Structure 1
Amino acid sequence: MVSTIKSLPKLSVTAALFSVVLLLSACGSSGGSSAAQTSSPQGSSPVTTPVQAKTEAKVLTINFGYIPDMGGAAPVAIGEEKGFFKEEGIKLNAIKFLSGPPEFQAMASGDVDIAYIGPGAAFLSAQGQGNIIGLISLGKSDMVFATKKSGVQDWKGLKGKTVGVPKGTSGEMVLNLGLEKAGLKPSDVNIVNMDVAGAVTAYVAGKVDAVAIWSPYTVEIEKQIGKENMIKLGDNSSFFPDYSFPASWVVSPKFLKEKPELVEKFMKAMNKTTDYKISHIDEAVKLTAAYTQVPEDSLKQELDSREWIDSKKQAEVFKDGSAKKWFDNLQKLFVDNGKLTSVVPSENFLTTGPAIKAVQP
């Protein structure tokens, strides 16, 4: 080797030595980039090795619709902070909503793939607009409050009164159940459809006699006018055990059909976030508050209004048919309030496979 180099012109010797240094440097490098790329002729694109291609293919984007509360936003905050989505090769593009129906509209237009919804929006799944793939909690955070000056003390007192409510939500469901309990029909009340912010503002300003809303917005109302000025008529728990109110993960039917494996990865990541949230609730509140800018005390008060469903429990209620019964009963409410014309088999829109597979070793 040495004699060969000595016989070369000076420039060739330098070039040869430089090549040797490069070769040794490449062999001794511990960085992944040197190993993942091979040399290529001048002017052509670098050659990608199978290792590099596999790494790049792992990261897939999911457009995710969330609501800024402990059910919808905590998994996003925790999953990003702890790297649970990254572990499953997912990049979560989180988009904020204030209620479920607009999320379904975004899924229909292809802007959202998977979303968090409360029980009130589940009728849209029954209509075939989304497949429920996971469960977050059973809620009692939906409440109906009358104003003190309205003079309303119970459900019967709502007759002829004005109630602000975001229609198509679980708040409306609790309102309708309360009216039914009092022997009233929705037509006996002046129900005004409002968005969440509008309902809160109208209640605080005394523009409505009552409001059907949920935590943490109920907490914000209390802060502004004081608990003594709020007359609570009832919440979800007023109608247990006949009715349960599950919050869910719902996926676009098109996305589920085209990317079933990615949906399974999503459920694995969400199982991790849910179980971590339940076992580290104080940390979960702090992370969620920082992510949503909702005050920690508001989020903490929300905790009392939910029964969390961990990954093991989720698989159990999917397997034993409990979840099916919950949604069967919800559909009866949807028929009563005109959201559905008839009850359909809940298994038509309950896709339980991804959640069940996600807990398997």
Structure 2
Amino acid sequence: MKLRILPSLLALFFISLLVAVSCTPSPQTSTSGNSAATPTNTKPIQFGFSAWPGWFPWQIAQEQKLFEANQVNVDLKWFDGYLDSINALRAGQLDANTQTLNDTISSVAAGSDQVIVLVNDNSTGNDKIIVREGINTIADLKGKKVAAEEGTVDHFLLLLGLKKAGLTQADIQFQPLETGAAAAAFVAGQVDAVGVFAPFTTKALSRPGSKELFSSKDFPGAIPDHLVVTRQLINQRPQDVQALVNTWFATLDFMRENQAKAYEIMAKRAGVSVAEYQAYDAGTKIFTLEENLQAFNPGNNMTSLRYAAEEISKFLVESGLIKQAPNLNQIFDDRFIKAYAAKQKS
């Protein structure tokens, strides 16, 4: 579920914004500035994020001091490995983290008390299964070496694709590797296929003859990405959770009004050129306020988070990624989205 540690988020992405208004821990880096400049004396919220087009905007929030503008003290920590950020939240080393729905369900199933308070985006193509030359169908993966970060989002995507073709993980030679390492192994010719997310897709596709076999675009609504916080943070500091949500929408406003600067900041954090980053635009759909409100409502398809959670939970159990489905009744809390929406109307 979670191992997406991060193509085309931003052309369509910014257009949508204009219209509407993704073991041994790898190094983590604090990107915060001088905490003395923060307009609050409370203990900093330990906030993790990692490589994914829908989460790079948090770097903008940091650099443009939007956390401070919304009166919240945040120590924003960058994780080179997505799974490490997930494990850090589970271990109580973080108060908040950026995570997919399936990875959050897995954490809750493992006993972690986590709550989704915001939808950042939906993956619409930036999670990919990339294959070498000669592999043309999912059925062609049978017996082949396929790498992905075990138990993460692109492992989840791989299993979805296999199931669609009537296969299971037992039909392939699964190679569990951290996302960056998986991309490198694929480029080096050590595996036949790889499950990666942007920006690691760029590296994987640099292998001559490689191509996308399928992506999250083929499974609409299966990979939503979120701001996830501990229940303890909600109980003890609800005003700061609200401030995090407010900061997100302030960041989207900044991106809409300062597109060139926003691209520059996000591309730098991603370690790619602005042109390369813009290629990710169509693969990530950033959610507007209205889309957030709709997503938290009950429904009977994958556009509803509650419905999606039930379906994903069943799949995770069937695939052996979790032992039993967790109680999903308290995994979502839309009060902060609703409060922000009410404030915009007043």
For this structure pair, what is the TM-score category when the shorter chain's length is used for normalisation?
Answer: 0.7 to 0.9
Residues 279 and 234 of structure 1, relative CA distance in 2, 3 Å threshold? farther
Q: Which has the higher helix share?
A: 1
Structure 2 residue aligned with 1:104: 86
SS state at 1:168 partner: coil
SS state at 2:77 partner: strand
Structure 1 residue aligned with 2:150: 167
Question: Pairwise CA RMSD of aligned residues?
Answer: 2.2
Residues 246 and 280 of structure 1, relative CA distance in 2, 3 Å threshold? farther
- Correspondence 1:73-88 to 2 at 5 A: 73-75=56-58, 77-88=59-70
Deviation digits for residues 91-110 of structure 1, max 9, x if unmatched?
32121224543223212333
Structure 1 residue aligned with 2:196: 213
The offset of 1:320, in angstroms, is 4.9
Deviation digits for residues 175-220 of structure 1, max 9, x if unmatched?
1111111111111111111011210111001000110111111112
Q: Structure 2, unaligned stretches of length 5 or more? A: 1-37
SS state at 2:52 partner: coil
Structure 2 residue aligned with 1:184: 167
2:123 is aligned with 1:141? no
Structure 2 residue aligned with 1:287: 265
SS state at 1:157 partner: helix
Read off the aligned partner of 1:143 and give its amino acid letter. K
Read off the aligned partner of 1:112 and give its amino acid letter. L
Tell me, yes or no, if the aligned pair for 1:152 and 1:158 is still in contact at 8 Å: yes
Residues 209 and 120 of structure 1, relative CA distance in 2, 3 Å threshold? farther
Does 285-294 or 137-146 show the bigger shift? 285-294
Structure 2 residue aligned with 1:72: 55
Read off the aligned partner of 1:101 and give its amino acid letter. L
Q: Distance in 1 between matches of 2:309 and 2:234?
A: 20
Q: Distance in 1 between matches of 2:214 and 2:257?
A: 30
2:219 is aligned with 1:239? yes
Does 338-347 or 77-86 show the bigger shift? 338-347
The offset of 1:59, in angstroms, is 5.7
Q: Distance in 1 between matches of 2:71 and 2:136?
A: 53
Residues 343 and 176 of structure 1, relative CA distance in 2, 3 Å threshold? same
Residues 154 and 282 of structure 1, relative CA distance in 2, 3 Å threshold? farther
Q: Distance in 2 between matches of 1:323 and 1:278?
A: 26
Q: Distance in 2 between matches of 1:136 and 1:65?
A: 14
Q: Distance in 2 between matches of 1:268 and 1:116?
A: 16
Tell me, yes or no, if the aligned pair for 2:39 and 2:71 is still in contact at 8 Å: no
Residues 208 and 291 of structure 1, relative CA distance in 2, 3 Å threshold? closer
Does 152-161 or 119-128 show the bigger shift? 119-128
2:76 is aligned with 1:94? yes
2:241 is aligned with 1:263? yes
Tell me, yes or no, if the aligned pair for 2:105 and 2:309 is still in contact at 8 Å: no
Identical-pair percentage? 21
Between 1 and 2, higher relative CO (CA 8 Å, sep ≥ 6) is seen in 2
Does 250-259 or 197-206 show the bigger shift? 250-259
Read off the aligned partner of 2:129 and give its amino acid letter. V
Read off the aligned partner of 2:135 and give its amino acid letter. V
- Correspondence 1:1-361 to 2 at 5 A: 57=40, 60-75=43-58, 77-127=59-109, 128-129=111-112, 130-139=114-123, 140-148=125-133, 151-222=134-205, 224-226=206-208, 229-240=209-220, 243-278=221-256, 280-321=258-299, 322-361=304-343
Tell me, yes or no, if the aligned pair for 2:40 and 2:72 is still in contact at 8 Å: no
Tell me, yes or no, if the aligned pair for 2:99 and 2:225 is still in contact at 8 Å: yes
Residues 230 and 326 of structure 1, relative CA distance in 2, 3 Å threshold? same
Instruction: Please list every run of at least 4 consecutive aligned residues from structure 1 whose deviation after the TM superposition is greater than 6 angstroms.
Output: none
SS state at 1:304 partner: helix
Tell me, yes or no, if the aligned pair for 1:135 and 1:246 is still in contact at 8 Å: yes
Q: Distance in 2 between matches of 1:173 and 1:190?
A: 16
Tell me, yes or no, if the aligned pair for 2:53 and 2:198 is still in contact at 8 Å: no
Tell me, yes or no, if the aligned pair for 1:99 and 1:169 is still in contact at 8 Å: no
Q: Distance in 2 between matches of 1:263 and 1:198?
A: 34
Q: Distance in 1 between matches of 2:39 and 2:248?
A: 22
Q: Distance in 2 between matches of 1:91 and 1:276?
A: 20
Tell me, yes or no, if the aligned pair for 2:120 and 2:287 is still in contact at 8 Å: yes
Tell me, yes or no, if the aligned pair for 2:122 and 2:287 is still in contact at 8 Å: yes
Q: Distance in 1 between matches of 2:207 and 2:264?
A: 26
The offset of 1:348, in angstroms, is 2.0
Q: Distance in 1 between matches of 2:247 and 2:47?
A: 13
- Tell me which structure has the larger Cα radius of gyration: 1
TM-score of the two chains, using structure 1 as the length reference: 0.76
TM-score of the two chains, using structure 2 as the length reference: 0.79
